């Protein structure tokens, strides 16, 4: 056994300062705790007593305690982390919702955040966000409504609208413009202005508008027989820089109505001037002494009476046509047979036809269904059409009135073998005061055909004419048959 005198616990005891020491025993290969105490004899150290104890059981206890402590600490840490996560989630979940609501605005309206109210800063932020979202959503909805209204107006306009950018590409075209230029616009493709309208005159107007910045206008003719289409180009300025709005107004009907109006004024002036001039001449002749000759004066008075009748007829027919066109003339409809409808006007006009050396005949099948019409008005149509045929049929000619059933309508035709109507006049034959005779030397006011057409249309029917120069004309009108036949 080695000398234990040099062991630290022994030296500490000898020095009067005993203290424990822990070290591994080389012989036992275990950890021990050593402590030594001096032995005194009359104040003199005569020896040292040393105590050694194994720490194996103590280390095991320490190890168990350390394990329990580690497990307890780990569980506590895990619980703390879970608690922190829950608290963090609870605190930051509204922030995440706010973030999601804000980012969702790229898809449309802002979303509001629902949930329990909070009294902290996050609650204040949520309230502020919801209020702002409601205001923005209201503005978005108002903009959508305005855009819907604008689109509805734009796409239901009778005028054509084309929007062209500074590069000459069409960015918008409404249906009226597509119909006007017969184009199939594809929004997903680049369509140049010339490709859409196919008219350099329009492209020139767009370029001039873009260059000058001033509104330009011109009149063009399209491929759809639109003779008067007004084109107006306007630069949209700071709202849409470089964008030019082209507006296309179809003035064809307006110009045609203007022509009809001018012709009406000219024709009625001519119709009134003739009898008025005759009355003026007859009056002056009587004033110059003819009134003293009973025979001459009676003849002149008879002529004056005839001219007054002509004036009365013109005024009466104008008033009647005006009432019919405005729908102010009520129709006294009742069921009648074709025979009841046709026989009287044919017999009425037969004597006039015979005086002109013309054969007038009526042929129609028996058993035709009844029709619901204003008998007086439809008979007026027959008289007008037969009278018109007599005027333009030479002596020895024939006029045939016929009736037949076709397409749930009774068709009436008045055919003559007279001089016929020039093709250029066929489109205007039913206009007021229109006459195929440029000199207007033929009798009549030129209102009969127009009145007849309006009467037929008031019965939901239609009136048209077919004619060949030198071979005669056929006027045909149809009236729908009555739904409730006896």
Q: What is the CATH number of the domain that holds 226?
A: 3.30.450.20
pLDDT band at 479 (very low <50, low <70, confident <90, very high): very high
Task: Give domain status of residue 102, yes or no.
Answer: no
Burial class (CB in 10 A: 0-12, 13-18, 19+), 351: exposed
338 and 366 in contact (C-beta within 8 Å)? Answer: no
Same domain, 469 and 350: yes
CA distance 172 to 240: 13
Tokens linked to 333: 């409809």
Same domain, 339 and 471: yes
What residues does 466 pair with on adjacent strands?
474
- Of the CA atoms within 13 Å of residue 445, those in its CB half-sphere come to 26
Task: Give domain status of residue 60, yes or no.
Answer: no
Q: Domain containing 364 — which CATH number? A: 3.30.565.10
Tokens linked to 257: 């109505």
Same domain, 309 and 390: no
CA distance 411 to 481: 10
Residue 462's pLDDT is 92
- The C-alpha torsion from 305 through 311 and 314 to 317, rounded to 10°, is -60
Q: Quick check: 232 pLDDT over 60? A: yes
Residue 226's pLDDT is 59
Q: Name the E strands within 261-375.
A: 334-336, 359-364, 371-373
Same domain, 466 and 339: yes
Tokens linked to 62: 């320490």
Q: Would you put residue 207 in left (φ > 0), alpha (ψ -120 to 50) or beta?
A: alpha
Position with higher pLDDT, 451 vs 103: 451
Residue 297 domain boundaries? 255-326
Q: Quick check: 399 pLDDT over 90? A: yes
Same domain, 352 and 469: yes
Task: Give domain status of residue 299, yes or no.
Answer: yes
Q: Quick check: 441 pLDDT over 60? A: no
User: What digits encode the pLDDT tens for the residues 3-17?
Assistant: 777 788 888 888 888
Tokens linked to 131: 């209020």
Tokens linked to 338: 């074709």
Residue 454's pLDDT is 87
Q: Which of 451, 227, 449 is nearest to 320 (CA)?
A: 451
What residues does 250 pair with on adjacent strands?
229
Give, in degrees to the nearest 5, the angle at Cα 220 between 218 and 224: 150
Tokens linked to 429: 């034959």
Same domain, 267 and 214: no
Same domain, 428 and 390: yes
User: How many domains in the chain?
Assistant: 4
Q: Would you put residue 327 in left (φ > 0), alpha (ψ -120 to 50) or beta?
A: left
Domain boundary among 267, 302, 326: 326
pLDDT band at 123 (very low <50, low <70, confident <90, very high): confident
Q: Quick check: 91 pLDDT over 70? A: no
Q: Quick check: 411 pLDDT over 70? A: yes
Q: Quick check: 149 pLDDT over 50? A: yes
Domain boundary among 326, 350, 368: 326
12 and 36 in contact (C-beta within 8 Å)? Answer: yes
Task: Give domain status of residue 433, yes or no.
Answer: yes
Same domain, 300 and 171: no
Same domain, 343 and 476: yes
Task: Give domain status of residue 71, yes or no.
Answer: no
- Per the listing, tokens 């604008």 go with 150
Q: Quick check: 435 pLDDT over 70? A: no
Residue 219: phi and psi, rounded to 5, are -120, 135
CA distances from 287 to 218, 275, 367 (A): 58, 18, 63
Which helix (H) or strand (E) covers residue 402, if one does? strand 398-406
Residue 39's pLDDT is 85
Task: Give domain status of residue 137, yes or no.
Answer: no
Question: Residues near 467 by Cβ (< 8 Å), separated by ≥ 6?
Answer: 420, 421, 426, 473, 474
CA distance 418 to 412: 19
Task: Give domain status of residue 76, yes or no.
Answer: no
User: What digits encode the pLDDT tens for the residues 168-201?
Assistant: 898 888 888 888 888 877 767 788 888 888 888 8
373 and 407 in contact (C-beta within 8 Å)? Answer: no
Tokens linked to 272: 């009134």
Count CB-CB contacts under 10 A for residue 486.
6
Task: Give domain status of residue 191, yes or no.
Answer: yes
Same domain, 372 and 397: yes
Same domain, 413 and 468: yes
pLDDT band at 412 (very low <50, low <70, confident <90, very high): very high
- Per the listing, tokens 């009625």 go with 268
Same domain, 376 and 311: no
Cα 440 vs. chain centroid, distance in angstroms? 48
User: What digits encode the pLDDT tens for the residues 374-397?
Assistant: 898 899 899 889 988 998 899 999
CA distance 300 to 313: 20
């Amino acid at each position: 056994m080695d000398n234990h005198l040099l062991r630290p616990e022994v030296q500490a005891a000898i020095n009067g300062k005993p203290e424990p020491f822990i070290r591994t025993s080389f012989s036992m290969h275990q950890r021990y705790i050593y402590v030594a105490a001096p032995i005194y004899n009359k104040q003199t150290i005569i020896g040292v007593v040393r105590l050694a104890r194994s720490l194996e059981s103590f280390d095991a206890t320490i190890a168990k305690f350390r394990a329990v402590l580690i497990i307890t600490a780990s569980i506590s840490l895990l619980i703390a982390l879970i608690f922190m996560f829950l608290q963090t989630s609870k605190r930051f979940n509204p922030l995440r919702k706010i973030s999601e609501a804000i980012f969702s605005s790229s898809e449309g309206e802002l979303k509001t955040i629902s949930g329990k109210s909070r009294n902290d800063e996050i609650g204040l932020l949520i309230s502020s966000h919801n209020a702002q979202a409601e205001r923005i959503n209201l503005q978005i909805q108002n903009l959508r409504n305005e855009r819907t209204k604008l689109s509805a107006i734009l796409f239901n306009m009778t005028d054509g609208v084309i929007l062209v950018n500074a590069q000459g590409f069409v960015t918008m075209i409404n249906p009226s413009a597509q119909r006007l230029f017969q184009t199939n616009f594809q929004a997903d493709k680049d369509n140049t202005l010339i490709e859409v309208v196919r008219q350099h005159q329009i492209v020139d107007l767009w370029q001039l508008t873009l260059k000058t910045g001033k509104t330009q206008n011109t009149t063009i003719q399209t491929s759809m027989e639109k003779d008067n289409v007004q084109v107006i180009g306007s630069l949209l300025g700071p709202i849409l820089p470089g964008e030019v709005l082209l507006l296309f107004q179809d003035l064809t009907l307006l110009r045609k109505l203007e022509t009809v109006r001018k012709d009406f004024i000219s024709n009625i002036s001519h119709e009134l001037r003739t009898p008025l001039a005759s009355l003026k001449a007859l009056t002056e002749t009587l004033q110059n002494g003819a009134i003293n000759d009973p025979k001459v004066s009676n003849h002149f008075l008879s002529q004056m009476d005839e001219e007054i009748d002509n004036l009365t007829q013109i005024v009466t027919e104008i008033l009647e046509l005006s009432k019919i066109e405005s729908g102010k003339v009520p129709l006294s409809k009742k069921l009648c047979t074709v025979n009841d409808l046709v026989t009287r006007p044919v017999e009425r006009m037969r004597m006039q036809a015979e005086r002109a050396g013309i054969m007038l005949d009526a042929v129609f099948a028996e058993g035709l269904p009844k029709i619901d019409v204003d008998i007086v008005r439809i008979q007026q149509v027959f008289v007008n059409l037969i009278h018109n045929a007599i005027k333009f049929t030479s002596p020895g000619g024939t006029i045939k009135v016929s009736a037949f059933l076709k397409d749930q309508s009774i068709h009436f035709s008045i055919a003559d073998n007279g001089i016929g109507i020039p093709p250029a006049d066929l489109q205007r034959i039913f206009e007021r005061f229109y006459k195929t005779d440029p000199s207007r030397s033929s009798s009549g006011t030129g209102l009969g055909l127009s009145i007849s057409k309006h009467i037929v249309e008031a019965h939901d029917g239609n009136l048209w004419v077919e004619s060949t120069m030198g071979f005669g004309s056929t006027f045909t009108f149809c009236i729908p048959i009555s739904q409730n036949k006896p």
